[in-house]
Amino acid sequence: MNDTVINGLYIVSAIFFVFGLKMLGKADQARKGNLISAVGMLIAIVTALVSQSVLEWQWIAIGMIAGSIVGAMAARLVAMTAMPEMVALFNGFGGAASLLVGWSEYHRYTVTYTYMDANALSLLIIILTIVIGGATFTGSLVAWGKLSEKLPSKAIQYPGQQFVNVLLVALLIGSAALFGPLRESLSIDSYLLVIATILVACILGITFVIPIGGGDMPVVISLLNSFSGMAACAAGFVISNNVLIVAGALVGSSGIILTNIMCKSMNRKLTNVLFSGFGASTASAGAGFQGEAKPVSVEDAYLMLEAASNVLVVPGYGMAVAQAQHAIQELADQLEANGTEVNFAVHPVAGRMPGHMNVLLAEANVPYEQLKEMDDVNPNIENVDIAIVIGANDVVNPAARTDETSPIYGMPVIDVDKARTVIVMKRSMKPGFAGIDNPLFFNDNTRMLFGDAKKSTQGLVAEFKG
């Protein structure tokens, strides 16, 4: 296969990637966009394999079989509640793959060239691939630990943490310089320097993510996704593969854009997310809200919903934990059969990864036209008869508007407290993932429906059917 055909097929793959990525931006086209991107990747992989004259096909077959088994098991065994953790792991594996590509390419260089004869730019790109891949790998593992609560979800801070990060970055810059413009002054074994670079990059990934609190995990996930794309792009330069460069650049740039969107949705700067230690404070952060919550039974909640003309459902991570998305869709069907208008308001950072609630609601076959963005519902929310908050906390916290001492002050939230009545489905009065009290629970127009969200929702459905 000549270079013209190969590059032509790579261009076709890139076009598939671009159109697939574009379609992912719309809920009703996301599945088709994902399929188109997968086809583009298939074309790229087949082209890359066929274009190589020397291949160890047995290792490729082993890799394909192993990857297929892992993917099938992940699709079948990983619950939707664990999707954020799985995304974090996938980001980490992407970083680890790039690290290994850079490492193996360095092996090839040491065989083909002497250290001093090797191209300095090529060595720098290899080191860049190793650094980004290593930091992405360990950083993603820490994010996985926080999301799965195998590590404390709060921000873990320690004295001099910024100094440690700066020192690690300086060491990595120094390592890159020794492989580039200063390599003639290198007095140690270059392979030892590669090992040291890998270790420092992995440590940087840990120290970079560990001080970030659980409430900022959606931003961290999108940022690590961007890092994995940049690592793949660098790996593409290392092995001179054009389509890997394009795919990595697309993932990296879209991840940065998504990170910026997440930060705007929280009314915070990326530097504030990464370095402020948000979430290190306890639930006492901000004003201490006092009052008495007003519990409501399933039967009484049914009577309220039965009389409502329009209902707004606001999902959060608690819906994912209870796996209540199918039950809430069934409740929506019952409300619509009763003549009630039903819509779903999705906050950009609801859940523990970008698009978490959209994925759950799409799985439950919630009609796309019922999914509303925060900016669409807030202007008319006073006209909502009942807002059902199912497992959401920080994204509906009115303290973001009213309490200047709150850590989330200024963050755009869904103003459910302005609806005529609010029904909050929640297991207890504990604060959300960010550990911040919510005065919404004590409002005069709020009723607390305590218990498992799925069981409570199924109880409401039973009342309608009965």
Residues 321-342 have pLDDT tens digits of: 888 999 999 999 999 999 999 9
Would the pLDDT of 281 be above 50?
no
Q: Give 326 or 288, the one with higher predicted confidence.
A: 326
Do 160 and 293 belong together in one domain?
no
DSSP string, 319-332: HHHHT-HHHHHHHH
Do 177 and 301 belong together in one domain?
no
Q: Residue 64: pLDDT band by 50, 70, 90 thresholds? A: confident
**Is 49 domain-assigned?**
no
**Is 63 domain-assigned?**
no
Would the pLDDT of 90 be above 60?
yes
Axis crossing angle, helix 83-112 with helix 356-363, rounded to the nearest 10: 120
Which of these three, 275, 302, 330, is where a domain ends? Answer: 275
Interatomic CA distance for residues 464 and 466, integer angstroms: 5
Q: pTM of the entire structure?
A: 0.78
CATH code at position 302: 3.40.50.1220
**Is 176 domain-assigned?**
yes
- Our count of domains for the chain comes to 2
**Is 73 domain-assigned?**
no
Do 305 and 186 belong together in one domain?
no
Across 153-162, 348-357, 414-423, which has the greatest mean pLDDT? 414-423
Of the listed ranges 57-61, 80-84, 123-127, 273-277, the least confidently predicted one is: 273-277
Q: Residue 299: pLDDT band by 50, 70, 90 thresholds? A: very high
**Is 1 domain-assigned?**
no
Do 305 and 262 belong together in one domain?
no
Interatomic CA distance for residues 422 and 375, integer angstroms: 19
Do 203 and 252 belong together in one domain?
yes
Tokens 């919404």 belong to residue? 440
Interatomic CA distance for residues 253 and 246, integer angstroms: 10
- What's the first-to-final CA gap in the chain, in angstroms? 68
The question of whether 394 is a catalytic residue gets the answer: yes
Q: Check residue 117 and give its pLDDT.
A: 59
Would the pLDDT of 300 be above 90?
yes
Would the pLDDT of 283 be above 70?
no
Q: Rounded mean pLDDT of 1-11?
A: 85
Of the listed ranges 213-217, 377-381, 408-412, the least confidently predicted one is: 213-217
Q: Rounded mean pLDDT of 267-275?
A: 73
Which of these three, 275, 300, 320, is where a domain ends? Answer: 275
Which of these three, 243, 275, 307, is where a domain ends? Answer: 275
Mean pLDDT of the chain: 85
Alpha-helical segments (H) within 296-369:
298-306, 317-322, 325-337, 356-363
Sign of torsion over alpha carbons 156, 159, 162, 166? negative
Q: 458, 238 in Cβ contact below 8 A?
A: no
Do 316 and 444 belong together in one domain?
yes
Would the pLDDT of 189 be above 90?
no
pLDDT in tens, 111-134: 665 555 566 777 888 889 999 999
Which amino acid is located at 230 in the chain? M
Of the listed ranges 212-226, 323-337, 374-388, the least confidently predicted one is: 212-226
Do 230 and 141 belong together in one domain?
yes
**Is 154 domain-assigned?**
yes
Do 291 and 358 belong together in one domain?
yes
Of the listed ranges 60-74, 106-120, 256-270, the least confidently predicted one is: 106-120
**Is 425 domain-assigned?**
yes
Q: 290, 394 in Cβ contact below 8 A?
A: no
> Domain span at residue 112?
78-275
Do 303 and 450 belong together in one domain?
yes
Interatomic CA distance for residues 453 and 327, integer angstroms: 9
**Is 103 domain-assigned?**
yes
Using CB atoms within 10 A of its CB, is residue 75 exposed (0-12), middle (13-18) or buried (19+)?
exposed
Do 136 and 185 belong together in one domain?
yes
Q: Among the options 189, 385, 394, 452, which is catalytic?
A: 394
DSSP string, 425-448: EESSS---TT----GGGGSTTEEE
Q: Check residue 220 and give its pLDDT.
A: 86
Do 261 and 347 belong together in one domain?
no
Axis crossing angle, helix 120-147 with helix 83-112, rounded to the nearest 10: 160
- Residue 190 has phi, psi (to 5 degrees) of -65, -30
Do 361 and 300 belong together in one domain?
yes
Would the pLDDT of 260 be above 50?
yes
